[in-house]
Structure formats: structure tokens, C-alpha cells
Amino acid sequence: IMFRVTEEYEVPYATGPEYQVIDEKGYPSPLKDTQMAAANYDMHPATNKTVNAPGEWNSARLVVNGSHVEHWLNGAKVVEYELWSDEWKNMVANCKWKDFPGYGQAKKGHIDLQDHGGEVWFRNIMIKPL
């Protein structure tokens, strides 16, 4: 689930941070901790989380209020970070998005639901302006 996606590049992941939705056990390749469920993809791992088994519903909550971002999974806050902070800028400069200077910088943008060819289901999607 990507947020504040802009149309600056042809691909949404070049601009919008991502709440990772993935089947950790069924994914065919090894995953880093920053690529697992509820992580801020390739930036912040999700900690102290409980993931329901494939075929069972998980509850995701993404709170984005100004620069403050929280990822929630099944009722527990598992990631928290500040966009545009010095820490954020340093992380972006030293990761896969270093060649996309607009990554995570937009003050507003689109929401993007992405898949990689596997099945994924969403239900009861609610968007509330803060």
C-alpha cells in the first residue's frame, strides 16, 4: 500500500513510501526484515507483530498525519517514522531510492495498491482525512 504517490516517474514505487503487504512464508525468494509484512518497504522493519496465516484476514492501518507515519498490524503499532526528517533523508540517500530524489517528499498524492502477480485481497478500505 503506497501513499503520497506522485506522477513524477512512470512507476509509483519511485515516489511513495510503502506499507508492505506480503505472504512472508509463501514468498518464493528470501526476504529481508524490511521487506516483510507491515514494514516500511526497504526502510523500516515491523517489530512486535503478529501475522495471521495465509487465508486468514489481517488488519492493516496506515496513519499519515503531516510528516508522522505509523504502520499498524492486527491492532498493534509496528512501525513509526517521520518523513522529511534528517534520518529519513539519510536513509533515502543510502538505499534503492537514492536515484529518485522525490521519494517520500510529497506533501500529498495518490494511494496505490500494488501486487507482483500473486493473489491479494482487500476489504473494508476506509480513507479518513486527518
* Residue 127 in this model has a pLDDT that exceeds 90: yes
Confidence of residue 32 (pLDDT cuts 50, 70, 90): very high
CA 58-64-65 angle, 5° bins: 145
DSSP string, 73-85: ETTEEEEEEETTS
- Locus of grid cell 529481508: 32
- Please state the rounded mean pLDDT for residues 113-129: 87
* Residue 94 in this model has a pLDDT that exceeds 80: yes
What does the alpha-carbon distance between residue 60 and residue 38 come to, in Å, rounded to a whole number? 8
- Among residues 109, 123, 117, 126, the alpha carbon closest in space to that of 15 is found at 109
Q: What is the pLDDT of residues 53-84, one digit of tens each?
A: 888 999 999 999 999 999 999 999 999 999 99
User: pTM of whole model > 0.85?
Assistant: yes
Number of other residues whose CB lies within 10 A of the CB of residue 106:
17
Residues ≥6 apart with Cβ < 8 Å to 98: 92
